[in-house]
Structure 1
Amino acid sequence: MGKIKQAKYNINGKTIIIRHAEVQDAEQLINVTKKVNQETDFLLKDPEEVCLTIKEEKEFIQSQIDSQVDLLIVPEIDGRIVGICSLNGNTNKRIRHCAQFGLAVEKEYCGMGIGKNLMKSGIEWAKENGIFRITLEVDINNYRAISLYLKLGFEIEGTLRNDKMLLDGSYTSGYAMALLL
């Protein structure tokens, strides 16, 4: 179940491919994860906390491909992965209908519709796989992401006060958001 049909679209003269992650993407996924965590405080890890080996990343990707409840998709431009999107579901019967989104796109590719298209692919996969509640958490200051999520139909369900510590030791809050399909 952890696969989607590949999608292509063009923007600003670039062809962007949205596809499920493959085991051979391991090194690129490690690199893009480190890069996006360096570019923003909005994500949950510091770059040095991205520490999987290529072997461990390959095993993780394979587990996502084999999973009945998880999805790992990537945007690719000119053979290079420039972001990552995950939907993590549940095998427990009472929450089998729920999944949590994770999304990150390299800064230089923001504003090109990549995040929107990743989310749309993930939402379509969720519909096809019996998931009808998708949740996510977003930094309260990540206005661009919040705007996208609202446009896609997500609603703010609550505020997560002081839920993340920044590098300078201060705290920031977030929103819990959900989309009911």
Structure 2
Amino acid sequence: MGRKTTISLSLATLFSASLAVLSACTGHPGASDPPLSDRQFRLEEFFDGPLVARGQFQDRFGTVRRQFEVKINGVWDGKTLTLTEDFVYEDGSTEQRIWTLHKTGETTWEGTAPGVIGMAKGEILGDRFNWKYTIDLPVPSADGPAKTTRVSFDDWIWLQSENRAFNRAYMMKWGVTLGDVSITFEKL
């Protein structure tokens, strides 16, 4: 191998490593971020009853790829919070996801839904809730039925008022951010 080939390989390796570091360092909220208000997020209160949510998926380059509306019916029975989510996408396709969540401590939650790998884990941090999970997510396909891809979510929901919350969910695969989902929840 000549010196020119070695330099080219070294530059290619450096460029690849730089891209990996940059994509891993995109700004995401963190547990140490200060609260935005003195509100206390009580998941079992906010999500108990009917809600409507509107949102969109945006890829890592900022292009909006899908928009949707979700009708949510939440039921808190004192131990379990069940969220039935009925999605309608802009192309007319639909999807239903039913989450079953359990309060595991004063500020901690865990839960599952069809397609979720293992157990989703969450923590309330004052006026926000952080929810992390891995899921086999249906992806629309132009050439037939939807396929699935395994992705991880780092979900952040901020309580903005008694009846409104804002959600930003960062979608990752192999540690690289693919995009994010922005959703506004409104209690009915």
TM-score by length of 2: 0.28
Bigger radius of gyration, 1 or 2?
2
Higher strand share: 2
Between structures 1 and 2, the one with greater helix share: 1
**What is the TM-score of this pair, normalised by structure 1?**
0.29
